[in-house]
Amino acid sequence: MGQQQSAPNGNPNEAKISEKDVEAIFLKAGNMRALQPGEMLIQAGMPFPNVYLVVSGELIITQESPGGKEGEVVRRELAKRGRMEVVGELSFLLDTMPVVNVSVSEKYPRTVSVIEITHHRGIQLLHADPKFAAKVFHMLAAV
């Protein structure tokens, strides 16, 4: 795997995990997936306990709320996630329903590549390989 780097505070005991290590961890457990502009990856309130690492491109995180008119829904952008950022990790780890939507913007000019780890496969690997589990939790804490 990649070489570990010192943490920003200079403490060598708090090594920062490299991007190469993060990608290798996700590829061991997951599969590459291409998302098209406008494609919804995670929908609030829908069971979807997978976790994703953005390999290239950008995802938007939005939340919907009732608008001023009856039946109107207002979608508000909360954040963006790009290369080497993770989405879905809380629902994955806590086995809860997501409270936000994650999608590719309809205006995004190209496909977005992610590595998807299904809940079942992730749990299998965490139980079977304690060293792998430690790396995953270290990586999620650092990302």
Query: Model-level pTM?
Result: 0.77
pLDDT per residue of the chain (143 residues) written in tens, 0 to 9: 344 443 444 444 445 678 888 888 888 889 999 999 999 999 999 887 788 999 999 999 999 888 778 878 888 999 999 999 989 888 887 878 899 999 999 888 889 999 998 888 888 877 888 887 777 777 776 65
Cα–Cα distances (Å) from 110 to 39, 78, 90, 107, 141, in that order, read 12, 21, 27, 9, 30
Cα 58 to the center of its chain, rounded Å: 11
Checking 132-139 for CB contacts under 8 A at 24+ apart, the result is 132/25, 132/28, 132/29, 135/17, 135/21, 135/25, 136/25, 136/29, 138/17, 139/17, 139/21, 139/22, 139/25
Q: Which two tokens stand for residue 97?
A: 């329903």
